[in-house]
């Protein structure tokens, strides 16, 4: 029994002690009553950790006598009803680069797992499906990746002269067994070709040929039109020096789940109060917002908060979601601001855009933002300097507009016109006095009776 004292008067006592086995090692625990004023379920003292444990704060991981224990960080995520999102799981065995995540049972109606994932700094990104009619809030699971030797990125292909059964019923075989199977099949096929060269076609061969013919019929959409294997992709990329804000187009930006800007284009929209203020977005998803009547601002959510590192897999998944928006809305063109996102270079983002959107007919414009967009409180000074100064010379609308073409903001031409109309010097210099004209008096006399004293009908002596 122990007696505990603190900064207040009085002391608390334990009820007794018990020895429990943790990973095969005996550990002494003290029992306290239910009203004990400490909310934790248990305390591990320094005697438990001293000399036999290592705390990995970066990975939220405790190693004790060769056994691993993950910290409970309280990270949670919300899955909208009847939806699918991409989120991360915490990995216990962080030394594995790849691994298999078995199906997890975290909540009724939530499907997670049964997938091969990559480990990135202790995180494994995976799709999570909510099949219920209400939003679900769950804690981020900690998983132990199952080690795999290798995996193929290509689809399954049948062996020569053999039809593979249902992939779910195919047993797992090693590389040595697969090589032996291939050698056996090749030797059997050689014997069949030598001995049965003139034999009739069997039923199995007919089934194989029928299946191959079905595949060929589904391969080409228009069988009567020659297929062009070297056809160029329909997507078009172009570059412009104009500002991202000057584009009369659909704008694509990268943001966080809290609505904070993550790329250069989002920062430009945020400075001009044009960035959608939506703090309830889904990770790795694209969401369109109305912009300039006919166009849209499309936000791609790539992280939870700005302080987090940007994962390339999330960017790729977000661009796939952008492809769904393009196909659903039938967007003909997009504009993207050039620039890296944290440690992800622009070349990687551009390469993902080209590969994922290659089969679309959309036109993508890359804005280099060489044309600057000044702040709203600086715009009047820019117009005044290029119009009212000695260099400006109080020029007209078009000449003043050309002088400040290196900058742009919405409604710039309208602001220049309004400034020139209110310029006092221009009004004084261009003042035109209109004379009052008297109406012409019509005469009732004939032209012959009218005397013109200033006209001489004689010949000039100088002629």
Give the model confidence (pLDDT) of 231-243 as tens digits: 555 788 999 888 8
Q: 170-187, pLDDT tens digit by residue?
A: 444 444 554 555 555 555
Give yes or no: residues 294 and 339 share one domain: yes
Last-in-domain residue among 22, 37, 70 = 70
Give yes or no: residues 241 and 361 share one domain: yes
Flag whether 167 is in a domain: no
User: How big is the CA angle at 252 (ends 248 and 254), to the nearest 5 degrees?
Assistant: 145
Give yes or no: residues 315 and 273 share one domain: yes
Domain count across the chain: 4
Residue 281 near residue 257 (C-beta atoms within 8 A): yes
Instruction: Give just the sign of the alpha carbon dihedral 85, 91, 95, 96.
Output: negative
What per-residue confidence (pLDDT) applies to 86?
86
Give yes or no: residues 252 and 315 share one domain: yes
What per-residue confidence (pLDDT) applies to 383?
87
Flag whether 423 is in a domain: yes
Last-in-domain residue among 126, 143, 160 = 143
Assessment of whether the complete model's pTM goes beyond 0.85? no
Flag whether 228 is in a domain: no
Give yes or no: residues 280 and 350 share one domain: yes
Flag whether 409 is in a domain: yes
Q: Which parts of the chain sit beneath pLDDT 50?
A: 158-175, 178, 188, 191-192, 195-202, 204-221, 227, 463
What per-residue confidence (pLDDT) applies to 413?
86
What per-residue confidence (pLDDT) applies to 235?
83
What per-residue confidence (pLDDT) applies to 455?
53
d(CA 69, CA 60): 9
Flag whether 451 is in a domain: no
Residue 302 near residue 284 (C-beta atoms within 8 A): yes
Instruction: Give just the sign of the alpha carbon dihedral 213, 219, 225, 226.
Output: negative
What per-residue confidence (pLDDT) applies to 334?
94
Flag whether 284 is in a domain: yes
Residue among 127, 374, 110 nearest 246 (CA): 374
Residue 19 near residue 26 (C-beta atoms within 8 A): yes
Which phi and psi (to 5°) does residue 203 adopt? -65, -35
What per-residue confidence (pLDDT) applies to 25?
82
Flag whether 216 is in a domain: no
β-pair partners for 4: 12
Give yes or no: residues 285 and 399 share one domain: no
Residue-range definition of the domain harbouring residue 246: 237-367
Q: Give the tokens for residue 371.
A: 């044309």
Give yes or no: residues 300 and 359 share one domain: yes
Give yes or no: residues 317 and 405 share one domain: no
Segments of 248-362 assigned E as strands: 251-256, 286-291, 295-303, 333-337
Last-in-domain residue among 70, 86, 116 = 70
Give yes or no: residues 261 and 348 share one domain: yes
Residue 100 near residue 145 (C-beta atoms within 8 A): yes
Which phi and psi (to 5°) does residue 399 adopt? -70, -40
Give yes or no: residues 334 and 425 share one domain: no
Give yes or no: residues 350 and 322 share one domain: yes
Flag whether 114 is in a domain: yes
Q: How many CB atoms lie within 10 A of CB 137?
A: 9
Give yes or no: residues 251 and 351 share one domain: yes
Contacts of 267 (CB under 8 A, 6+ apart): 261
């Amino acid at each position: 029994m122990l007696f505990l004292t603190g900064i207040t008067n009085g002391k608390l006592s334990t009820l007794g002690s018990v020895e429990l086995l943790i990973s095969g090692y005996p550990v002494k625990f003290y029992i306290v009553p239910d009203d004990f004023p400490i909310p934790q379920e248990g305390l591990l003292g320094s005697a438990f950790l001293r000399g036999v444990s290592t705390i990995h704060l970066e990975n939220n991981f405790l190693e004790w006598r060769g056994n691993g224990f993950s910290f409970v960080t309280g990270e949670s995520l919300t899955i909208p009803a009847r939806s699918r999102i991409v989120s991360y799981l915490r990995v216990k065995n962080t030394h594995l680069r790849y691994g298999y995540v078995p199906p997890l049972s975290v909540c009724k109606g939530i499907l997670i797992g049964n997938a091969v994932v990559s480990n990135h700094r202790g995180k494994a990104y995976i799709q999570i499906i909510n099949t219920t009619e209400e939003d679900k809030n769950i804690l981020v699971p900690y998983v132990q990746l199952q080690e795999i030797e290798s995996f193929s990125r290509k689809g399954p292909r049948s062996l020569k002269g053999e039809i593979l059964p249902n992939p779910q019923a195919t047993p797992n075989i090693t590389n040595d067994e697969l090589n032996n199977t291939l050698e056996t099949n090749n030797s059997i096929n050689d014997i069949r070709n030598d001995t049965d060269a003139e034999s009739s076609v069997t039923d199995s061969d007919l089934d194989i040929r029928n299946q191959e013919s079905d595949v060929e019929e589904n391969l080409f959409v228009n069988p009567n039109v020659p297929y062009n294997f070297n056809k160029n992709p329909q997507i078009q990329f172009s570059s412009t020096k104009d500002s991202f804000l000057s584009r009369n187009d659909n704008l694509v930006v990268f943001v966080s789940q809290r609505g904070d800007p993550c790329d250069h284009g989002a920062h430009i929209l945020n400075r001009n109060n044009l960035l959608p203020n939506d703090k309830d977005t889904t990770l790795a998803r694209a969401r369109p917002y109305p912009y300039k009547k006919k166009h849209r601002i499309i936000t791609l959510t790539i992280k939870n908060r700005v302080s987090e590192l940007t994962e390339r897999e999330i960017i790729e998944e977000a661009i796939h979601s952008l492809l769904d928006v393009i196909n659903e809305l039938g967007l003909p063109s997009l504009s993207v601001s050039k620039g890296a996102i944290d440690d992800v270079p622009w070349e990687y983002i551009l390469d993902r855009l080209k590969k994922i959107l290659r089969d679309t007919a959309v036109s993508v414009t890359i804005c280099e933002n060489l044309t600057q967009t000044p702040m709203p409180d600086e715009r009047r000074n820019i117009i005044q300097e290029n119009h009212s100064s000695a260099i400006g010379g109080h020029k007209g609308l078009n000449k003043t507009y050309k002088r400040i073409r290196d900058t742009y903001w919405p409604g710039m031409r309208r602001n220049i016109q309004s400034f020139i109309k209110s310029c006092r010097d221009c009004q004084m210099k261009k003042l035109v006095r209109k004379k009052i004209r008297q109406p012409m008096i019509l005469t009732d006399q004939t032209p012959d009776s009218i005397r013109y004293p200033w006209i001489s009908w004689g010949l000039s002596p100088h002629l």
